[in-house]
Structure 1
Amino acid sequence: MAIVCEKSPKAIFQDLLVAIQAGLIQPLSELDEDLLVQEYKFLHDRVQQAAYALIDESCKQVVHLQIGRNLLEKTSPEQRFDRLFTIVDHLDQGTELVTAQPERTEIARLNLMAGQKAKSATAYEAAFKYFTTGLQLLDTESWLTEYDLTLALYSEAAEAAYLQGCFDEMEQLVEVVLARAKTVVDKVQAYDSRIQGYLSQGNLKETLKTGLEALKLLGIDLIENPSRADIQRELESTAALLAQREIEDLINLPEIAAPEPLAAISILSNMVSAAFITLPALWILIVCKRVNLSINYGNTTWSPHSYACYGLVLCGVVQDIELGYKFGQLALSLAERLNTKKGNVKALLFLSTHVMHLKVHLRNTIPLLVEAYQEGVETGDFEFAGYAAYYLCHNSFFAGEELTQLEQKTVIYSKAINQIRRESPSSWLTILRQTILNLLDRSLNPSRLVGRVCNEEEALPHAIAVKDGTAIQMFYLYKVILCYLFGEYYQAVQTAVSARQYLEEVTAIKVLPLFCFYHSLALLNLSFDVSNSEKSTWLNSVNTNQEKMQKWAEHAPMNYLHKFYLVEAEKARVLGQFLEAEEFYERAIQGARENEYIHEEALAYELAAKHYLARGREKFAQLYMKEAHYCY
């Protein structure tokens, strides 16, 4: 108040004395050495409102402007950031009285700073208001006279508009930037906002189209539908660059300084999820290009995610799980070194979803996905927050979380995903939730994904139409599981056959072990009253699945060895090798129990019980079925 009123603290104390004695104002601090109280508060908000109402309406703008000017003048540069909102809020209420353009420009600059501060605190509506107020203060020639300020206000306003879901306003602001910005680098933030806007709305095709357009301006011409030869060439290029370095040394690369490569990495990074979902071959090129840029020019906030993605390429394409996992560890170490939540969110999400299940217990990924979700929301990375919300429910399901509890978790995260406006993970979660409802006997036909939250007759055609590979993979996976568990083995096998074309991509590695598991179990439960050639074909499919499962079990026995044993048990049963079958059932039960896969322990008990019943060993069958019931 001393600054605002341009009086000494002693004079202010005398002015307030009557209000203090009347109890309208209360001291907050003790008397200082001059016997003065330095801090006060109103008795109640209504007292403050009543005092404000006493100011004549015609004078309020003048008062606010004067307060803002005094605070700005008397506040030291060191204290200005802390008082920024107070200063700007007063100035903004008096801008109609400011006619000199230099002062209007200065207030616009303060609004830019206030908007950036609000955005970093995830107050996106307030940030948008500050940015647009700043724009209103500029004159018609500002693109010529105040280029940097004008560019920053338009670019920041576009991003804030996207972050609060105002896509029409975002598009208008982006159009201005793309028309007036001098260089490609200056257009990058606007392109990023447009890409994120399309991602929010689930428009993955336009996401990639926009990204490819921006990359061309930066001199990077990616092939939208690369051939195997194109992919192999890019993989060899990246491998050649990496051959010159130890993996551990990549963490010590300098931070990138060149603006063009930094802009390219930013665009590539914002495209990566859309490519992963719809065009996996393009995704591999994007991953390699990002890694190449980091090696050649230095690390960035995006580099941890780049290395995590490359880890998946190594696991899924090159078939080198150990090396892929090392790149995953590099990603986490670099994110910690860079001390950036945004980089950490992306690395955590990707590793927890696609790589870690090949080396550590699936349950260990769940707290990491919770962390990724929380940090994504905190930093405004709603795209990856949405993915993390879905995958922590997905991983919880396959780790054996109790279904009633998990169904409630999916409800909570469905609401959260809808609040941050993420179309793709929202649709994935409805498929998972309907699967859970079916297993809880809350649908008319438990083997069909039709019920309260999902209709397979609409969901699958839509996913295919928009090329949402993740939705398609998840739909078929859950469908195979439901058909198998509810005894529709032929339908389970037919569903697995339909899914095959969508499981050949590197992006399917997160679901492929589960597909192989349930596909094999379904095949082994078909009627074998068929021709020898057909029986041989089915067994060959099982053996092919088991070869893959054995490799995964070598690297992550806690997740996959008991699955391998259970399929071996069923295969031995079908082949009449009953003693071997019983040995494998016991190994499957023990492995599932030791690793706390209670739902798969239950399944192993159930299948063993059916085996004993078929052999006329009713007491064994009864005992094992009771154990299965207990686990379920």
Structure 2
Amino acid sequence: MNLSLTADHTSYLFTAATQLNLGGPSAVQDAEQYAQIAHFNLAAGKRAMEMSDFSLAFSFFDHGMTFLRKKHWQHQYDLSLELFNLAAKCALATKDLSSLTMICDEVSRNAHNVEDALNCSFISMSALTHSRISESVEYGLRILSSQLDVYIPNSPSREDTLQLIMQTQARLSGISEETLLSYHMLSDCRKIMVLKFLAKLESSLQQVNPALLPYVTIKIVDITIEHGLSPMSSIGFAYFGSMIAELGDIRGGYRYAKLAKALLEKNHCNEIAGEVLLQSVEILSYVEPLQTTNEHRIRAQATAMAAGDVYWACMNKLMIPCTLMWSGAKLSEVRDAFINSRRFSEQHEHHTTIYYMKTFERTISILIGDEDQALSDNQWIQQVIENNNPYQLVVVYFHKMFLSLVFNNYDEMILSTEKFLESRMPSWHLLSGHAVHAFIGGLISFRIYRQTHDHVWSHRGERFKQRIKTWKEQGSLWNFEHKSFLLDAEQSYSDGNLDLARVSYENAILSAQQHKFIQEEALAYELAANFYLNTGNEAIALKYFTSAHGKYVEWGAFAKAKPIYAYLQEKFRSALLSAAPNDAGENNDFQSVAFNTVNQKSRPSS
């Protein structure tokens, strides 16, 4: 049997390997051919991995392992180690955790040294992140300290952490992007594995022990500066940029996000692209128009999936409809996008993203007026509350806050906002969701302050408003100008500065309109209408309630538009009936739109 490992065509390579595997080890007559066929399967498996077919790749590696003879760890060590390591990687990608465990156990028993066992240890740690994330963190920290001599402090103070971040930022300020990109590639195998373990800890620590995140991130940056570039370096710079942005330096954070993407492109490492791109786009959403960021998210999701990185493929897929939601897309389009993303996560059993998506879907169902679906999702929300996961609770209570503001449910506003503030965990990273949290949190805080005159709420509103102002000044006018104006308006109204409030409401409406945030234009019209009504200008109040109604209809929030219509009919009926002739066209248009809104029955997407 004459075997060639240099097949020119993938189909020939796969066909030949498959035919050999059908015969199995028992069909081999020459003992030397066992190793040849194992090598042939290794080549076929590598080619399948390049095509992102990890199930097929695992099949080839698995067959290759069956052609290894007794004492192969002694006589064919390099071949055995490569087959088993790649098989473990494919088992992780396909979530075949039982095979993964057996493979990693065998490597651990037979590895000649710690370095050779580290790759399977890393894959084992990666597998734990899918279901037992706390164990994954403990495992990774233990490997780093016991086998790689890297120590992360147990409970650092915020003051020490801030000092370390500032020192690192000062150190980096003297190194240009061009210099960093021209660094030599890291060749020390132990250092490479250190960076892989540190990079894997980044996202896990966010959910388990956020206080340690800066130390992990800065350790990646330090090793890169001192010893050279690794594909994992881009993860370190992406998270470092996020930390700098969270501390208020949006432009500095943006610099490191761009550097992370440039390093990613230089190293051509799709294995980590999903995570790096997601984190980079989170910062990008504070600098570029929000409506344009989904093109980056779509690319990130596709790249992660092609690399077999299901976790980050699902995370990027989740962010696509989230971005649509807060950038003002029609709610019917947003709901379809969430359904598509949820099905993707269900297919890959990614339960973390499913929790978040179901929360969003409930909000959309309530806004659209799909009462049956909203009622069904209530059971899911109750389950999330009972699970008491702080990251899920923050999302649930924020959506309750948001709906209480939209539907002007004052009691729920206070309850859900207090719960949101109790559940919110400190974060060293700036996420796109923080923008809408600050915006809605500020509006609610000033609303409650007007009712209670409790200065705790005015201080909360001021803090939220200052965050929006920082992002407007350092980041994107497009995304934050109208938010800043509306918060200024609500604060001025609360403080009794009516002239400034009036100007700020008008500016907020115009800016939201110019920047295509239809849902926030509707909200600005409604809040301005309430302001004018309560300060004695019913004519403008009528006009703005009517405009708010039209924008909510345009957005697709029919359940919100209906009570506005009912309120107008009750409060302004005489004004509507006695409108001047030159206003008749506008009022007739309102009556027509309102009639359609009241009688429209939204249908759930299939």
Instruction: Please tell me the TM-score bracket, short chain as reference.
Output: 0.7 to 0.9
Residue pair 2:449, 2:457 contacting (<8 A) in 1 also: no
Q: Structure 1 578/148 Cα, relative in aligned 2: closer, same or farther at 3 Å?
A: same
Are 1:526 and 2:448 an aligned pair?
yes
Structure 2 Cα separation of the partners of residues 114 and 421 of structure 1: 28
Q: What amino acid is the match of 2:253?
A: G
State the Cα deviation string for residues 158-183 of structure 1 (Å, max 9, x = none).
22222222112211211111222123
- Is 106-115 or 176-185 further displaced after alignment? 176-185
State the Cα deviation string for residues 226-261 of structure 1 (Å, max 9, x = none).
333552464356346425522432111111111111
Residue pair 2:449, 2:455 contacting (<8 A) in 1 also: no
Q: Structure 1 241/179 Cα, relative in aligned 2: closer, same or farther at 3 Å?
A: farther
TM-score relative to the length of structure 2: 0.85
Structure 1 Cα separation of the partners of residues 154 and 57 of structure 2: 36
Structure 2 Cα separation of the partners of residues 124 and 453 of structure 1: 38
2:256 corresponds, among 312, 327, 345, to 327
Are 1:614 and 2:534 an aligned pair?
yes
Identical residues among aligned pairs (%): 23
For 2:596, the equivalent position in structure 1 comes to none
For 1:456, the equivalent position in structure 2 comes to 381
1:359-370 to 2 correspondences below 5 Å: 359-370=287-298
Structure 1 Cα separation of the partners of residues 321 and 274 of structure 2: 17
Structure 2 Cα separation of the partners of residues 120 and 454 of structure 1: 43
Are 1:552 and 2:471 an aligned pair?
yes
1:112-511 to 2 correspondences below 5 Å: 112-201=42-131, 203-216=132-145, 217-228=147-158, 231-232=161-162, 234-235=164-165, 238-239=168-169, 241-317=171-247, 319-353=248-282, 355-443=283-371, 451-452=376-377, 455-464=380-389, 469=391, 471-500=392-421, 502-507=424-429, 509-511=431-433
Residue pair 2:213, 2:428 contacting (<8 A) in 1 also: no
1:602 corresponds, among 517, 522, 530, to 522
- Is 78-87 or 598-607 further displaced after alignment? 78-87
Are 1:565 and 2:485 an aligned pair?
yes
Structure 2 Cα separation of the partners of residues 342 and 129 of structure 1: 20
Deviation at 1:221, TM superposition (A): 2.0
Q: What amino acid is the match of 1:259?
A: C
For 1:631, the equivalent position in structure 2 comes to 551
Structure 2 Cα separation of the partners of residues 380 and 218 of structure 1: 27
Q: Secondary structure at the match of 1:569?
A: helix
For 1:12, the equivalent position in structure 2 comes to none
TM-score relative to the length of structure 1: 0.81
Q: Structure 1 234/375 Cα, relative in aligned 2: closer, same or farther at 3 Å?
A: same
- Cα RMSD (Å) of the superposition? 2.4
Residue pair 1:349, 1:369 contacting (<8 A) in 2 also: yes
Structure 1 Cα separation of the partners of residues 488 and 164 of structure 2: 39
Are 1:535 and 2:442 an aligned pair?
no
Q: What amino acid is the match of 1:479?
A: K
Q: Secondary structure at the match of 1:138?
A: coil
For 2:573, the equivalent position in structure 1 comes to none
Structure 2 Cα separation of the partners of residues 529 and 385 of structure 1: 45
For 2:561, the equivalent position in structure 1 comes to none
Structure 1 Cα separation of the partners of residues 52 and 136 of structure 2: 24
Q: Secondary structure at the match of 2:224?
A: helix
State the Cα deviation string for residues 47-84 of structure 1 (Å, max 9, x = none).
xxxxxxxxxxxxxxxxxxxxxx35x2xx5846376632
Q: How many corresponding residue pairs? A: 548
Structure 2 Cα separation of the partners of residues 431 and 126 of structure 1: 36
Structure 1 stretches of at least 4 aligned residues deviating more than 6 Å after TM superposition: none
Gaps of 5+ in 1: 1-68
Q: Structure 1 200/558 Cα, relative in aligned 2: closer, same or farther at 3 Å?
A: same
For 2:16, the equivalent position in structure 1 comes to 87
Structure 1 Cα separation of the partners of residues 194 and 161 of structure 2: 19
For 1:39, the equivalent position in structure 2 comes to none
Q: Secondary structure at the match of 1:220?
A: coil
Structure 1 Cα separation of the partners of residues 90 and 378 of structure 2: 32
Deviation at 1:489, TM superposition (A): 2.8
Structure 1 Cα separation of the partners of residues 115 and 177 of structure 2: 30
Q: Structure 1 603/122 Cα, relative in aligned 2: closer, same or farther at 3 Å?
A: same
For 2:592, the equivalent position in structure 1 comes to none
Higher relative contact order (CA 8 A, sep 6+): 2
Deviation at 1:364, TM superposition (A): 1.9
State the Cα deviation string for residues 427-454 of structure 1 (Å, max 9, x = none).
22222222222222224797xxx63376
Deviation at 1:191, TM superposition (A): 2.2
Deviation at 1:595, TM superposition (A): 0.8
For 2:567, the equivalent position in structure 1 comes to none
Structure 1 Cα separation of the partners of residues 459 and 162 of structure 2: 30
Residue pair 1:124, 1:160 contacting (<8 A) in 2 also: yes
Deviation at 1:572, TM superposition (A): 2.3
State the Cα deviation string for residues 193-220 of structure 1 (Å, max 9, x = none).
223322233x211221221122121111
